[in-house]
Structure 1
């Protein structure tokens, strides 16, 4: 039976801490966290990724990621508030990585085009 007191999932919002008393337990960084907002269409903007096409947080929007820290500082803060941390990620390889023919790193640490 669906509970009307405790929600089944988290809430994607910057004010999710206010929902904690109501049973929300997740703070989720929503879609396009890796896209730069600098100049252009957010739906097809500049992606921040490493040489293997792995998505990285946009440093202008997520300054705590600078220096290779990723979302760890944000996750640590969210955890310290008693919440769980999540990242929305689309399945598959990004369109821009495909169009740029970015090599893919396999589990053995070798490029897919070597």
Structure 2
């Protein structure tokens, strides 16, 4: 998570399609972090799925289709506020901190 968040935080222009998606949903790349990203090869292009965390601690899950040739955004398949489905707990039995708690901690560290 920290490598993903740090890479995009330092160079947001490295993922231009994500900038376009965030802008289309009125979210600023300067007021949040990318906490999860996976890329899946598909026939039409690459499906990129991930989670964006805003400064207000809202989690948005997205899935987009991106051209392999030029990384152009081909379409948004999903963009949904999933804040209510992500546990934010510092002490889960047998696990420790939840994904949500770790993401918020990462956000805090990057913004300080």
TM (normalized to structure 1)?
A: 0.28
Higher alpha-carbon Rg: 1
Q: Which of the two has greater helix per residue?
A: 2
Which structure is higher in RCO with an 8 Å CA cutoff and minimum separation 6? Answer: 1
TM (normalized to structure 2)?
A: 0.28
